[in-house]
Amino acid sequence: MLVFAASDKGGTGRSVTSANVAFRRALAGDDVAYVDFDFGSPTAAAVFDVPEAMGGVESGGLHTYLRGKAAEPVRVDVWAETEHEVLRDRPTGAGNLVLLPGDRSGGEFAVGKDVLRRCTDLFLRLNSEFDIVVVDLSAGRSFAMDMALEVTSLPELRGVGSRWLVYHRWTRQHVIAASGLVFGSRGILAGGVARGHDEEDLANRIRFVRAAVPDPEAAPWAMVPPAQSAWMRKCDQDLNELAAQRNVGYTRMLGSIPLEPVLQWREQLITDEDVLSSRVANMETLQALKDLAQALDDDEAWGPA
Amino acid sequence: MTDAAVYRETTAQPRTQSVPLAHVSLELGHLYMEDFEGGADRLAEHFARVRPWADAVHAMAAVEARRPRVSTCFLIDDYFTRFSTPAELVPMVLAQAEKAGLTIDYLARESACAVADGTAVAEAVESRLVDSPAPGSDGSRPPARETGWLANGERAPGLETALEAMAHVAPWQPPRETGARRHSVFLDVELWDEKDGRRTWSCPFLAAVWQLARLGLLRHLGEPVLSPRSWPEAPFPRDWDDLPPVIQLNPAAAPFAAYRTWSALPTRFLPIEHAVRVLLDQIEADPQAMRQAADRAAGEGLPLPDEIPERISYVFYPGT
Amino acid sequence: MTAWGRAADPVLICGEVRTGLLQHSESLPARAVADLLRLRPDERVRISERPNGYAVSPEVLTGVDCRLPAAGGARTRVVGTVAARAVVTEGRMLQATASIVVAGPGPDVRHPWSHYLARPGVVEPLGKLPERAVADGLLAGRARPGELDLGAVAERLLARVARHRALDQRAPFKSRRTRLRWVALRALDGEGPSLDSFTLAEDGLRTVELRLPARVSPAAAAALCEDLALHDWLLTTLVRMVERSRLGSADAPEAVLSLRPAVDHLLHLWMPTAHVDRTLAPLWDVLEREPGFTRQWQTLVQRIRDQLALQAITLRRDALTAH
Ligand SMILES: Nc1ncnc2c1ncn2[C@@H]1O[C@H](COP(=O)(O)OP(=O)(O)O)[C@@H](O)[C@H]1O
Ligand SMILES: [Mg+2]
């Protein structure tokens, strides 16, 4: 299954959350590929702790491949290449976890017929090999998103399942922007329909993910004076109303990841050790990531909202 | 293998049918609308000019083989413009040729080089183009193909490379002929164009197909295409579509296809034929058909060049 | 079949095979396979039905003018064409092979292109060719830029077939492709064919080194290596499926269930030398003795069957006690 990770703005938590979701699925035994189409700011290698692919690879990455200058893009076997203490010993029962990085000096570029064909071949190939293929797209209506919409509309891919996660933070501006990215006149739905997608079908394959959500009922917010706490609760309620109005409400939400101090400080994977042994990360975060990972192919969570 | 297999599946070992071959296929002319508009006189003049060259070709063939087999052919353009009818035109052509002392053994329609009896010949030939690789081509990328064009070398860098190199402004670079002797004669041949979804093959492309047909190198699923059908005398049909792709007018003629071809053409065809050679240099003819011709020539003790362009020759006589 | 292609005095044949599962929910019927492999409108797809379904596409050529990799850094420029073909077995397995026949020493300048097109699948060196060094270079790892990349040619052909619209892209299980690179030097006069090495290298690359008499055609060599690659893929894939199913672990029914696709789609594919030239078939015996391909396969199959039988008994017993 192809899982496209999108967001209207940068810095929403899209890459870090998606990488954690990919990691969770691999731990659960799935073969997972993480495709870094975030051509503007590649972060995946940092999250997976693969130094050689940091900020993209020198050459032979996705840009080189899509431009037709390499027969296949470089793959990084995360279990084998990571410098992360815990990840280096691949847990028993874990599936493959492979990162396909972009090129360091890559950036965006125009999509011609040949680029589309190569992207088609890439998606077909990855789909034949991996249970989950996470494609991290650049923020906003990017070239990468157009390409994803175009390729998934082709008859060649009609048998390949694809789903969209739209990430946003839990603020007014982010909720409005995320709604616009999906339902706006230049949004994913409109762009998809223009490329031959069925509107209803595509809408059923899009879900929102809230990232870095503060919980007024939990630490440290629960400690604040009553006035502040009441104000926060009111904000949270207002946001929920706004989200519902803008079609970003509960029915279209696949997951919500709490604000996590560890992630606030550092882009990284949240391991079980971080929660259970060193206890630097919160249990709620781990659980939310696990739930989101599981929801990817939980058909009850998808379909008409 | 020494002992023959007991079990055989015909679909597993498809056969390629061979065609009879003459020594030389001599093209006595190629008729376009503008020639036709010139009337019978223009035809008469044409044949009169070709006659001595035809004699020369016969004489040359006799040097190579003791009993030379030379067949003659004539091509009528019914593809780019439709004019007259076979019933009217064919007898006139035959009569004018005869006046000049020439016999036309075979007559072909140009549109048959595009589609013959329902077989998309031109399309199949296009799929047999194998681009000549520029030095450095290591197989890692597909050849830089402009759809619908074929060149004899590397094109000047286009927009894409220009954009990539934007940072350091790229100076103009000339196109380059592959295998040029120091200086390039770069040629880029248009194979077809499309209007309203209808593809029109270019004159050089159809001429290349015509050469392959005359060299006996075309096959479709192992069967020969553009094989002549006997039509010894009038009446000829009123519609070009009712005329077979190639007809045999002379029952005593040597085979239509031959080891080598000669074409007698007015000088204005020079650029077209240059393009034809560029195309033929990059067409992989059916390997079985190639082998059949090579084996047969070897059996007759005749030298036959491997290279297809080396098998074709011209006489260009003055004229437009 | 005749000699090593139409090369004058060929010294070496080599190729790369890419092998993978055809991405379709069920095995593709013969007619659809023929469509899939019709790479050229005017050439037939070769189809056999016995002893198993097997179809070979026409060959397609790619022109090259580049260096051959060579151990020790010798630089040999070659010009000619790479021949590539696709093969489908039992409507289930897809393979693409790119191969070349390397001719003996040639002149120092490049011929007109039509010279090479008259020798499909042959590359001619400009000047001398250190064949041993080239064989070693070809077998060692990845080609550097500017060096012949047969893998890329095979990969492009595989991708072209794999994106055909007849395929529903709903294969019954996920699997990885494998790459097998092979090199054949000429056998000494009077000596028969031999398989000198079969190596599992890293990154899923397999390398095979052969010695073949001049009378063996490149197509026959390709078919042999495709056969090796196919069975190596089957073994690799089944081993991995059994490993991941955690057969014999606590959750037995789950494990057996996850092996259903293997039973339905893979077990019947094992048929070494089904389409290998008779004179080359004995080369398989080497691998049967060491490491024992078929032995390992049969052991795996037996294990799966035993587990299936056990499960069936448990299920029946559960059903009986439930009543
Ligand atoms: N749940 C979270 N809690 C706190 N910080 C987070 C959380 N998720 C992500 N972040 C942080 O937010 C920043 C932006 O995340 P990133 O994934 O790079 O965003 P994007 O890919 O949308 O641009 C990073 O520093 C990341 O560590
Ligand atoms: Mg990011």
pLDDT in tens, B2-59: 345 677 777 777 889 999 999 999 999 988 887 788 888 999 999 999 999 999 999 9
pLDDT of residue C319 exceeding 80, the answer is no
Amino acid at C21: L
Angle at A153 between CA C93 and CA A44, to 5 degrees: 80
Nearest atom (ligand 1) to Cα of A213: 1
B251: exposed, middle or buried (Cβ count in 10 Å: 0-12, 13-18, 19+): exposed
What is the residue-wise DSSP string for B157-208? Answer: P-HHHHHHGGGSPPPP---EETT-BSB----EEE-EEEETTEEEE-HHHHHH
User: What DSSP element (H or E) covers A166?
Assistant: strand A162-169
- CA of residue A198 to ligand 2 center, whole Å: 28
Minimum CA–CA partner of C152 in chain B: B140
Which of B95-109, B137-151, B171-185 is modeled with the greatest confidence?
A: B95-109
The residues spanned by each domain of chain B are 17-127+197-317, 144-194
Q: How far is B220 from chain C (nearest CA, A)?
A: 5
Integer angstrom CA distances of residue C176 from A11, A66, B243, C26: 35, 21, 56, 18
Minimum CA–CA partner of B163 in chain A: A109
More confident residue, A52 or A175: A175
**DSSP alpha helix (H) spans, chain A:** 14-27, 44-48, 62-66, 78-81, 113-129, 143-152, 172-183, 188-194, 199-204, 226-245, 261-265, 272-276, 283-295
Contacts of C64 in chain B (CB under 8 A): 133, 137-139
Are the Cβ atoms of A69 and B142 closer than 8 angstroms?
no
Rounded CA-CA distance B302/B64 in Å is: 8
Q: What is the largest CA-CA distance in chain C?
A: 86
Rounded CA-CA distance C221/A179 in Å is: 59
Percent of chain B with pLDDT over 90: 75
By Cβ distance, the residue of C41, C79, C117 closest to B120 is C41
pLDDT digits over A40-67, tens only?
788 899 999 999 888 888 888 999 899 8
Q: Are A12 and A211 in contact (CB under 8 A)?
A: yes
Rounded CA-CA distance B13/C264 in Å is: 31
Q: Are C189 and C26 in contact (CB under 8 A)?
A: no
Assign residue A223 a region: left if phi > 0, alpha if psi is -120 to 50, beta otherwise?
A: alpha
pLDDT of A55 reads 84
Contacts of A72 in chain B (CB under 8 A): none
pLDDT of C250 reads 62
- CA of residue A146 to ligand 2 center, whole Å: 17
Taking any CB pair shorter than 8 Å as contact, residues of chain A touching chain B are: 68-71
Please give the structure tokens belonging to residue C157.
Answer: 């052909």
3-state secondary structure of C316: helix
Per-residue pLDDT band at B201 (split at 50, 70, 90): very high
Amino acid at B156: A
Contacts of C23 in chain A (CB under 8 A): 124, 127-128
Contacts of C149 in chain A (CB under 8 A): 71
Rounded CA-CA distance B90/B77 in Å is: 12
Are the Cβ atoms of C120 and B281 closer than 8 angstroms?
no
C2: exposed, middle or buried (Cβ count in 10 Å: 0-12, 13-18, 19+): exposed
pLDDT of B1 reads 37
Please give the structure tokens belonging to residue A166.
Answer: 């739209």
Give A60's DSSP letter.
S
Please give the structure tokens belonging to residue C32.
Answer: 């659809």
The ligand whose atoms approach the alpha carbon of A209 most closely is 1
Q: What phi and psi, each to the nearest 5 degrees, are found at residue A145?
A: -70, -45
Q: What is the residue range of A136's domain?
A: 2-295
The residues spanned by each domain of chain C are 10-230, 235-322
Give A92's DSSP letter.
T
Integer angstrom CA distances of residue A253 from A84, A140, A175, A178, A246: 31, 19, 12, 12, 12
pLDDT of C93 reads 98
Give the end-to-end CA distance of chain C in Å, rounded to a whole number: 67
For residues B187-204, one letter each, b for 16 or more C-beta atoms within 10 angstroms of the residue's C-beta and e for the rest, the string is bebebbeeeeeeeebbbb
Minimum CA–CA partner of B145 in chain A: A114
3-state secondary structure of A34: strand
Q: Are B93 and B45 in contact (CB under 8 A)?
A: no
Are the Cβ atoms of B142 and A71 closer than 8 angstroms?
no
Please give the structure tokens belonging to residue C171.
Answer: 């294969």
Q: How far is A67 from chain B (nearest CA, A)?
A: 10
- CA of residue A6 to ligand 2 center, whole Å: 9
pLDDT of B166 reads 43
Mean pLDDT, chain C, integer: 90
Q: Are A100 and A57 in contact (CB under 8 A)?
A: no
Query: Is A43 within a domain?
Result: yes
C-alpha closest to that of B150 among B175, B187, B115, B98: B187
pLDDT of residue A122 exceeding 60, the answer is yes
Number of residues assigned to chain B: 320
Rounded CA-CA distance B83/B56 in Å is: 32
Contacts of C174 in chain A (CB under 8 A): 31, 128-131
Query: Is A303 within a domain?
Result: no
Minimum CA–CA partner of C244 in chain A: A93
Contacts of A68 in chain B (CB under 8 A): 141-142
Are the Cβ atoms of C23 and A128 closer than 8 angstroms?
yes
Report the relative pairing of strands C93-103 and B219-220 from DSSP bridges: unpaired
Angle at A21 between CA A15 and CA A25, to 5 degrees: 145
When pLDDT is averaged across residues C132-151 and rounded to a whole number, the result is 88
Are the Cβ atoms of C169 and A160 closer than 8 angstroms?
yes
Nearest atom (ligand 1) to Cα of A9: 22
Per-residue pLDDT band at C7 (split at 50, 70, 90): low
pLDDT digits over A200-254, tens only?
999 999 999 999 999 888 877 778 888 988 999 999 999 999 999 999 999 999 9
Q: Are A156 and C163 in contact (CB under 8 A)?
A: yes
Q: Which range among A45-49, C16-20, C256-260, C286-290 shows the weakest confidence by mean pLDDT?
A: C256-260
pLDDT digits over B163-178, tens only?
444 444 567 789 999 9
Give the end-to-end CA distance of chain B in Å, rounded to a whole number: 58
Contacts of C150 in chain A (CB under 8 A): none
By Cβ distance, the residue of C21, C151, C244 closest to A128 is C21
Number of residues assigned to chain C: 323
Nearest atom (ligand 1) to Cα of A259: 3
Minimum CA–CA partner of A113 in chain B: B147
pLDDT of residue A265 exceeding 90, the answer is yes
- What CATH number does the domain containing A59 carry? 3.40.50.300
Are the Cβ atoms of C118 and B307 closer than 8 angstroms?
yes
More confident residue, A71 or C88: C88
Q: Best mutation site among A23, A138, A167, A263 for ligand 1, i.e. most ligand atoms within 8 A of its Cβ?
A: A263
C-alpha closest to that of C153 among B22, B142, A294, A86: B142
When pLDDT is averaged across residues B87-114 and rounded to a whole number, the result is 96
3-state secondary structure of A48: helix
Please give the structure tokens belonging to residue A161.
Answer: 């399942």
Peptide bond into C291 cis (omega under 30): yes
If you count residue pairs, one on A and one on C, with CB atoms under 8 Å apart, how many are there?
53
Q: Which of residues 238-277 of C touch A (CB under 8 A)?
A: 244, 246
Rounded CA-CA distance B54/B26 in Å is: 8
Tell me which residues have their CB closer than 6 angstroms to ligand 1.
A 7, 10-17, 43, 139, 167, 211-212, 257, 259-260, 263-264, 267
Query: Is A302 within a domain?
Result: no
Contacts of B141 in chain A (CB under 8 A): 68-69, 71
Peptide bond into C51 cis (omega under 30): yes
The ligand whose atoms approach the alpha carbon of A211 most closely is 1
pLDDT of residue A15 exceeding 80, the answer is yes
- Tokens 């396969």: give the residue: C297
B266: exposed, middle or buried (Cβ count in 10 Å: 0-12, 13-18, 19+): middle
Amino acid at C65: D
When pLDDT is averaged across residues C115-139 and rounded to a whole number, the result is 93
More confident residue, B244 or B179: B244
Whether the CB of B221 is below 8 Å from some CB of chain C: the reply is yes
pLDDT of B167 reads 43
Rounded CA-CA distance C25/C28 in Å is: 8
SS3 content of chain A, % helix, strand, coil (to 5): 45, 15, 40
- CA of residue A21 to ligand 1 center, whole Å: 13
Are the Cβ atoms of C44 and B138 closer than 8 angstroms?
no
Assign residue A107 a region: left if phi > 0, alpha if psi is -120 to 50, beta otherwise?
A: left
Integer angstrom CA distances of residue A22 from A132, A149, A206, A286, C313: 8, 21, 18, 13, 38
Q: Best mutation site among A9, A36, A264, A274 for ligand 1, i.e. most ligand atoms within 8 A of its Cβ?
A: A264
- CA of residue A109 to ligand 2 center, whole Å: 18
pLDDT of A86 reads 85
Nearest atom (ligand 1) to Cα of A167: 22
